[in-house]
Chain A
C-alpha cells in the first residue's frame, strides 16, 4: 500500500481525536460505545479494503472522470454534488471546532472573526495547490507532528495519574447494545480512505491492499480509536466526563512534563493538532472544490481571460464558514456533527461504493480494454 494512502487515513483519524468525536463517544459511555468501537473497526477496515480495491481498477482517475466515462450524467451529477457537500461539511466542522478550541484555550481575547481569518489565507492557498503537492505537504507535516503526538500519548499512558480502574469501568460497559451515534462516529474516524475520490488521480499504481498493509492499518486504527476513547476516561474519570466539551484538551492538560521546556503539554498538543487540522481542512476542501468544478463550469464568469469558477466557490466557502463560525454555538455544532455522522456518512459510503460498483460493471461490459 502506498504511504500516501496511509497519510490520508492518518490525517483524518488524528484530526478527529480532538474534535467532537471523543465527546460523542463519551456521551454514549453508559450505553454502548465500547461495543460500537469494536464493531466499527472491522466494518471500517472492510470498507477501506473495498474502496481501495475498487479504485485500483481505475488507476489514475478520480471519481468525476470515472463517472463521466461509465455512468449516465443524471446519476453522476447528483452523486457528485452530494459528495461535494459532504466533503465541504467535513472541512467546515473541522474549521469551526478548531476555531472554538483556539478561542477557548489559546487566545480568548481574540475575536472569532480574526481566528477564522488566520486560516483563510493559508487554507485558500492550500486548496489551490495541486493534488500532488497536497500529498507531499501532508507527508512533511505528518513527519513533523506525529512524533509529538506519539510522545504525548506515550507520556499519557505512562503517567502515574492515569487510573486504569476508570478505563476498566468503561470496558465493563461492553454488555450494552452498540450505540448508533458512537458507531457512525468511529466509522467516520477510520474511513479517511474515502478521500481517494479525488486523490486517486495520483495513484497510478494503486494495488489491492496487501495483507501487511491492512494489518498495519488495522493496528494503527485500533490504537488510535481506543486511545481516543479510553485515555480521556483514565484521566478525567468515568462519571465525570459527560459534561466536558473537549475531553482530549482536558486530558492533555492533565499530563505534566515535569522537566520539559514547556511544562504544560496542552500547548504542544494543541499546536500539533492545529497543524493537522489545517492539513485536514485543505484535503477536504480540495476534494470538495475539485468535485464542484467537475460539475459546474461557469463559462460566463470571467475576468479578462481567467475563468473564475474556482475562486467563486472558494469565496462562497469562506462566506459560509465565516457565518457559521460566528453564529454557531457549541451545542449546534455538536448536534450537526452528530447528524452528519449518523445520516450523511452512511449515505455517502453507500453512494460512493454503489457508483463505483456501477462504473466497474458498466466499464467491464462496455469497453473492457478501456484503460491501460
Chain B
C-alpha cells in the first residue's frame, strides 16, 4: 500500500501545486492599502429626494502613534438614494479600499427614526463584514456633525464614541448601549421596543454629551426619554451600578450611591381583576453626601425615605412609557414567554398593555453612611 499511496500522493501534490500557482493572491491586499471606517452617520439627504447623506469617519494611520499630536481622522460624505449606493460611490473618492470590518458606530439622524427603517438599516445587517457588536445611536444634531466631531479628550488612535459605549471607559447610568444585533432583534420582535442613546455635543467646550435616550416605534414618532428617565430605565434594565440619587426631605439632603440594582417583575392576570405587573426592585448602596451628620442606626429610616422617592420616579417612567404605548422593558416578550403560544398572543397583549397596572415594590438597602457618619 505504501508505495502506491506514495506515488498517488506525489502525483496529487504536484498537480495541486501547479493549480495553486495560477489561483493565488487575488484577494491579497495589504493593511496599508486599506482605510478603516470607524463610524457611519446617516442623515436624510437635502439634494436627493428620499435619499440619504452618508458620512464616513475614516482613520488615517500614523507612523508613530505616540508622537502624533492631533487627531488622525478624516471624513467623507455623499448623497445617494440608498446607503449601498452612497458607499459604493465613496469608494471612488478614496485611493484605498474602504474596510468596514472595524466600524463600531452607526449614528442615525432623529428624523429618520419615524421612517421605514428597513430602507437604511438593512444594509448593515446584510453586509457580513459589519460587526454585530456595532453601537447604534441617535444624533441630537445631525449625524454628519456628530460623526465628524472631534472632542478634546480624544487622543490619537482612540475613538471617544467607542469608549462611551463599550463599558471599558466611562460607566454611567446615563449612557445606554445598544448593539446592532440588539437593535435588529428588538426592532423585528413583537412585544418590545428598541431604545437608542442620543449623542449630543457641546461645540464650545468640545465634548460629547450622552445622557438621553429615545424609544423607537415602528413607523411612528419615537418617544424621547429625559435624562432622569434614561437613568432609571438603564439602571433597571441593565443593572448599571454607579447610580447616584439625591433625596430631599425636610432640610436633609442625601445623595445615595447605589452599587447594585436588581429588578424582577411578573405579569399577573387574575380573573376579574385588572391585569397588573408586580415589579420588585432591590437596590443596595451607601450614602455618599449629606448636609447633616448621620447616624448609622438610622439607616433603616433613610432606606424608607429613599424607597418612597425612587418609587415615584420609577412609576413616572413606567406610566410615561405606557401612555405613549411603547414597551422598551419587553413586558410583551415576557407575556409571550410565559404562555403557550397561539396565534393571537401578541394581539391580546396589545389590548392588555394600555390598561395594565403597575405595582412597584421598592427595597433600598443602604449598607453604611459612607466612610464617616
B69 interface residue (CB < 8 Å to A): no
In the bound complex, do residue A258 and residue B182 qualify as a contact, i.e. CB atoms below 8 Å apart?
Answer: no
Q: Is the CB of B133 closer than 8 A to any CB of chain A?
A: yes
In residues 29-44 of chain A, which contact B (Cβ within 8 Å)?
A: 30
Is B334 in contact with A165, judged by CB distance below 8 angstroms?
yes
Which of A66-74, A171-179, A355-363 participates in binding chain B?
A: A171-179
Residue A155, interface by CB 8 Å: no
A169 contacts B333, C-beta separation under 8 Å: yes
Could you mark each residue 265-290 of chain A with 1 if its beta carbon is under 8 Å from any beta carbon of chain B, else 0?
A: 01000000000000000000000000
CB-CB under 8 A from A163, the residues of chain B are 185, 330, 333
Pick from A48-56, A89-97, A237-245, A327-335 the stretch touching chain B: A237-245
How far apart are A4's CB and chain B's nearest CB, in angstroms? 22
Count of interface residues, chain B, beta-carbon cutoff 8 Å: 47
Quick one: given A110-B27, A165-B333, A311-B11, are A238 and B189 in contact (CB under 8 Å)?
yes
Q: Are B185 and A174 in contact (CB under 8 A)?
A: no
A136 proximal to B (CB < 8 A)? no
Interface residue A114 (Cβ < 8 Å from any Cβ of B): yes
A336 within 8 A of B: no
Q: Which residues of B contact A105 (CB under 8 A)?
A: 128-129
B7 within 8 A of A: yes
In the assembled complex, A120 has its CB within 8 A of some CB on chain B: yes
Task: Determine whether the beta carbon of B128 is less than 8 Å from that of A235.
Answer: no
A-side interface mostly: helix
Does B179 sit within 8 A of A, measured CB to CB? yes
A236 to chain B, nearest CB (A): 6
Q: Given A105-B128, A256-B133, A264-B131, does the pair A239, B188 have CB atoms closer than 8 Å?
A: yes
Q: Are B330 and A165 in contact (CB under 8 A)?
A: yes
- A residues within 8 A CB of B334? 165
A168 within 8 A of B: yes
A120 and chain B: residue at smallest CB distance: B16
CA distance A334 to B248 in the complex (A): 63
Among listed B197-205, B211-219, B336-344, interface-contacting one: B336-344
Inter-chain contact A169/B11, CB cutoff 8 Å? no
B24 engages A114 (CB within 8 Å): yes
Contacts of B13 in A (CB 8 A): 121
Given A110-B26, A114-B26, A128-B8: A172 touches B181 (CB 8 Å cut-off): no
**Is A125 an interface residue, CB under 8 A from the partner?**
yes
List residues 153-204 of chain B with CB under 8 A from any CB of chain A.
166-168, 179, 181-182, 184-190
Contact A306 B4 (CB under 8 A): yes
Q: Chain A residues near B11 (CB, 8 Å)?
A: 311
Within 8 Å by CB of B185, from A30, A107, A110, A166, lies A166
Distance (whole angstroms) from the CB of A229 to the closest CB of chain B: 16
Separation of A60 and B133 alpha carbons in the complex (Å) = 51
Q: Is the CB of A173 within 8 A of B341?
A: yes
Assess whether B238 is interfacial by the CB under 8 Å rule: yes
Q: Which residues, 160 to 189 on A, are CB-close (under 8 Å) to B?
A: 160-161, 163-166, 168-169, 172-176
* Contact between B167 and A258, CB atoms less than 8 A apart: yes
B301: CB under 8 A from chain A?
no
Q: Is the CB of A169 within 8 A of B337?
A: yes
Cβ of A122 to closest chain B Cβ, rounded Å: 10
Q: Are A236 and B181 in contact (CB under 8 A)?
A: yes
Chain A residues with CB below 8 A from B4, complex form: 306-307
Scoring B8, B12, B132, B168 by chain A CB atoms within 10 A of each residue's CB, the highest score goes to B132
On chain A, the residues within 8 Å of B168 by CB distance are 258-259
Q: Are A107 and B27 in contact (CB under 8 A)?
A: yes
Q: Within the assembled complex, what's the spacing in Å between the Cα atoms of A176 and B336?
A: 15
Is A104 an interface residue, CB under 8 A from the partner? yes
Q: How far is the CA of A266 from the CA of B131 in the complex (A)?
A: 9
Residue of chain B at shortest CB distance from A249? B128
Q: Beta-carbon contacts of A115-134 to B below 8 Å, as 1s and 0s?
A: 00100110011001000000
B133 near A254 with CB under 8 A, answer yes
Residue from A111, A113, A166, A259 with most neighbouring chain B CB atoms (10 Å): A166
> Measured between alpha carbons, how far is A237 from B239 in the docked complex, in Å?
21
Of A107, A169, A236, A266, most B-chain CB atoms within 10 Å? A169
The yes or no answer to A139 lying at the interface (CB within 8 A) is no
Docked complex Cα distance between A266 and B187 (Å): 23
- Determine if B70 is an interface residue (Cβ-Cβ < 8 Å): no
**Shortest distance in angstroms between B190's beta carbon and chain A's nearest beta carbon?**
6
- Residue-wise, chain B 307-351 has the 8 Å CB interface mask toward A (1 for contact) of 000000000000000000000001001101111111000000000
Q: CB distance A168 to B337 under 8 Å?
A: yes
B20 contacts the other chain (CB 8 A): yes
| B23 on interface, CB distance cutoff 8 Å | yes
User: Are A172 and B333 in touch, CB under 8 angstroms?
Assistant: no
> Do residues A108 and B128 form an inter-chain contact, with CB atoms below 8 A?
yes
Most buried by A among B167, B185, B333, B338: B185
**Interface pairs A-B: 8 shortest CB-CB:** A237-B185, A240-B188, A168-B337, A110-B27, A109-B27, A253-B132, A254-B181, A165-B333
Excluding A161-B182, A172-B341, A306-B4, 10 further A-B contacts by CB distance (< 8 Å) are A105-B129, A109-B26, A117-B20, A169-B341, A236-B184, A237-B189, A240-B184, A253-B133, A306-B3, A311-B8
Q: List 27 A-B contacts (CB under 8 A).
A: A30-B341, A105-B128, A105-B129, A109-B26, A110-B26, A114-B27, A117-B23, A124-B16, A125-B12, A128-B5, A128-B8, A128-B9, A165-B333, A165-B336, A165-B337, A166-B185, A166-B189, A168-B338, A169-B337, A237-B185, A237-B189, A239-B189, A240-B188, A254-B181, A256-B133, A311-B8, A311-B12
